[in-house]
Amino acid sequence: MHELSIASAIVEKILEFVEEKQIMKVVEVRLAVGELSCVEAEQLRFCISSITKETPMEDSTLEIEKIDAEVVCPHCSYAGRPKYWDDLLSSGPIPTLQCPECGKAAKPSQGQDCAIKTIKYVA
Amino acid sequence: MIETLEAAPDEIYDIELEHSLLEANAKLARDNRALLDGHGVKAVDFMGAIGSGKTTLITRLVEKLRGGFGVAVFNGDATTSDDADDIAEQGVPVVQIATVNGCHLDANLVGKALRKIPLEDLDLLFIENIGNLICPAEFPLGSKARVVVVSVTEGPYMVRKHPHMFLGAAVVVINKIDLAEAMDVSVERLADDVHKLKPDIRVIPTSCKTGAGLDEVVAALLAV
């Protein structure tokens, strides 16, 4: 469960900031999670709430913004949303690196990262 | 007495952090890569489910390569050193990386292990990740290329069940093809599934038992 590693990194970073700025309470945290990052938002939410008990982050609101995947194709210069593989076994369509225009291999250009965007706090 | 703190809107500060969570690992991975490149060592990391045959494949590759190349192996395993012991019988440097409760190797652990091997004597480093198809995908280690090992014994839907793993791979080894008929699994369909996800992946069917495809894997790894 790599969401716990990511959650620990988020909480560590924010608590570091809290200490540095002498913040009393964190009110809201906004994260941006890329569609290609393999980070599962609900698991991340659970991990963060589990490890922030009795910290200034406890009970803060967690907003998770999903960043869409985008690809660029070096063969035909296509840039935009990837081709999806609608698969009955999976809960949703799977983004692929097959160019939607020419079918050759495209490269991911957006949606691979997982980042803390903003935090709101009471000083 | 418990006091509840309710901040008035003008007391709430909103700041942009723009802090990437994967960047810390990605930076360490770049450091590892620079260290490896500086010594002319090419690292390849292997991912795949438990039982897909990663260790056996690496052992066979080491057998074929150790005569002509300096080879070392990092073996990621949650608790045991069984796999590392098997590979060490080949007489090459092996570092067992125990993650204990961690489900993936990360660039920091690999960086520590790099300090334990004679980089100046090496040409190739094989890094065997933990047997886990979901977690390791987003933690680059600093290797030049990634190999995903799937075996026909994992059933016909292995690739489509774990699509993320393949998006970052250069080579996919479909292992245990000697058992394909008994398992009623089509190697061609697994290969088609891989190419649907990423058309430029090199797919190599192998059997570590019969030796089929192993020379092709060696050639592919030397070429990446």
Q: How does pLDDT run across B203-214, given as a tens digit for each residue?
A: 999 999 999 999
Chain A CA closest to residue B103: A1
Contacts of A10 (CB under 8 A, 6+ apart): A29, A31, A48, A116, B21
- Of the pLDDT bands very low, low, confident and very high (cuts 50, 70, 90), residue B85 is confident
Q: How does pLDDT run across A3-26, given as a tens digit for each residue?
A: 888 898 899 999 999 999 888 899
Q: Is A64 helix (H, G, I), strand (E, B) or coil?
A: strand
- Of the pLDDT bands very low, low, confident and very high (cuts 50, 70, 90), residue A1 is low
Total domain count for chain B? 1
pLDDT top residue among B127 and B11: B127
pLDDT at A37 over 60: yes
Q: Chain B: nearest CA to A31, how far in angstroms?
A: 9
> Does any domain span residue B143?
yes
Which range, A17-31, B70-84, B203-217, has the best average confidence (pLDDT)?
B203-217
- Of the pLDDT bands very low, low, confident and very high (cuts 50, 70, 90), residue B6 is low
Q: How does pLDDT run across B127-136, given as a tens digit for each residue?
A: 998 877 665 5
Domains and CATH numbers, chain A: 2-66+114-122 (3.30.2320.50)
Average confidence (pLDDT) over A102-120 = 92
Average confidence (pLDDT) over A85-104 = 83
Q: What average pLDDT does chain B have?
A: 88
- Of the pLDDT bands very low, low, confident and very high (cuts 50, 70, 90), residue B102 is low
Helices of type H across B41-152: 54-65, 82-88, 107-114
> Does any domain span residue B194?
yes
- Of the pLDDT bands very low, low, confident and very high (cuts 50, 70, 90), residue B18 is confident
Q: Chain A: nearest CA to B129, how far in angstroms?
A: 14
Q: What pTM, to 2 d.p., does this model score?
A: 0.85
Residue span of the structural domain in which B127 resides: 44-223
Comparing A33-42, B2-11, B183-192, which segment has the lowest mean pLDDT? B2-11
pLDDT top residue among B8 and B116: B116
Residue type at A5?
S
In this prediction, what percent of chain A has a pLDDT beyond 70? 95
- Of the pLDDT bands very low, low, confident and very high (cuts 50, 70, 90), residue A62 is very high
> Does any domain span residue B16?
no
Residues A33 and A39 sit within 8 Å (Cβ to Cβ): yes
CATH of the domain at B162: 3.40.50.300
Among candidates B17, B22, B163 on the partner chain, residue whose Cβ is nearest the Cβ of A117: B17
> Does any domain span residue B106?
yes
> Does any domain span residue B57?
yes
- Judging contacts by C-beta atoms under 8 Å, the chain A residues touching residue B138 are 2, 37-39, 112, 114
Predicted pLDDT at A69: 94
Residues of chain B numbered 41-100 and touching chain A (CB < 8 Å)? none
Residues of chain A numbered 2-41 and touching chain B (CB < 8 Å)? 2, 5-6, 9-10, 13, 17, 24-25, 27, 36-39
Helices of type H across chain B: 23-38, 54-65, 82-88, 107-114, 158-161, 163-167, 180-183, 187-197, 214-223
